Amino acid sequence: MNEKVLVTYASRFGSTAGVAQAIGKTLAESGVQVDVLAMQDVKDVSGYRAVVTGSAINSGVWLPEAMQFVQTHQAALRSKPFAAFLVCMTLSMRSAENYRSHVATWLEPVRALVRPVKEGLFAGALDIARIPSFGDRLKFRLSVLFGAWKEGDHRDWDAIDAWAQELKPLLAL
Ligand SMILES: Cc1cc2nc3c(=O)[nH]c(=O)nc-3n(C[C@H](O)[C@H](O)[C@H](O)COP(=O)(O)O)c2cc1C
């Protein structure tokens, strides 16, 4: 077991990857050795003293590879500090605070496998033109039209930094 912390992410369009990088940077700046890796590049978590796992939300759930990751490494993750975060557009809404407790339920399937020492709920980014499915593009254009949310990058770097600072002491063995 080395002293490194793993921050690993599942991301379709890069915004969750950016959140993971920011968490890794904050931890590294406070003296933690960190690897920030896409989930498909992680084969084994046994060498890490703690693991932080995050995913973009699609249709109210973590991306399939993120759930698969927690399932595959469930036993190892249960034996060390494990933190989980999600990135979604609901939290970019003006009335986001009203939806926070609902958004938190999206981590329930993760909790059922491994209980996180801390959970992060972050607003993400949306560029509708990059969504491959016509149906999904239409759905998002309509939700923008009806004022549910705005396109663009809504990541709150201060909130992400604050979360990572609070996380640091919880990642100790
Ligand atoms: C197909 C699709 C489905 C989505 N479903 C939801 C959803 O159910 N709830 C939500 O709040 N955001 C949803 N989003 C928004 C994404 O979670 C958000 O844009 C996130 O920042 C994307 O992360 P990524 O850039 O790492 O892929 C969806 C985005 C896409 C493309």
- The structural domains of the chain, with segments of one domain joined by +, span 5-171
pLDDT beyond 70 at 25: yes
3-state secondary structure 115-151: CCCEEEEEECEECHHHCCCHHHHHHHHHHHHCCCCCC
What is the pLDDT at residue 14?
Answer: 97
CA neighbours closer than 13 Å in the CB half-sphere of residue 99: 17
The phi-psi region of residue 140 (left if phi > 0; otherwise alpha if psi is between -120 and 50; otherwise beta) is: alpha
Q: Find out whether the beta carbon of 103 lies less than 6 Å from any atom of ligand 1.
A: no
Q: Which residue has the higher pLDDT, 37 or 150?
A: 37
pLDDT beyond 60 at 1: no
**pTM of this structure:** 0.96
CA of 102 to the centre of ligand 1 (A): 15
Tokens at 149, concatenated: 């949310």
What is the pLDDT at residue 149?
Answer: 87
pLDDT in tens, 4-20: 999 999 999 999 999 99
Q: In whole angstroms, give the CA distance from residue 132 to residue 147.
A: 22
Specify the residue for token string 């939300």. Answer: 57
Tokens at 10, concatenated: 């599942």
Question: Of 58, 107, 149, which is best to mutate to test ligand 1, by the most ligand atoms within 8 angstroms of its C-beta?
Answer: 58
CA of 60 to the centre of ligand 1 (A): 8
Nearest CA to ligand 1 atom 3: 58
Share of the chain above pLDDT 70, in %: 98
pLDDT in tens, 87-131: 999 999 988 889 999 999 999 999 999 999 999 999 999 999 999
Question: Of 8, 59, 107, 154, which is best to mutate to test ligand 1, by the most ligand atoms within 8 angstroms of its C-beta?
Answer: 59
Domain 5-171 adopts which CATH fold?
A: Rossmann fold (3.40.50)
Q: Which residue has the higher pLDDT, 146 or 75?
A: 75
Strand locations in 59-103, DSSP E? Answer: 61-62, 82-88
Q: Find out whether the beta carbon of 12 lies less than 6 Å from any atom of ligand 1.
A: yes
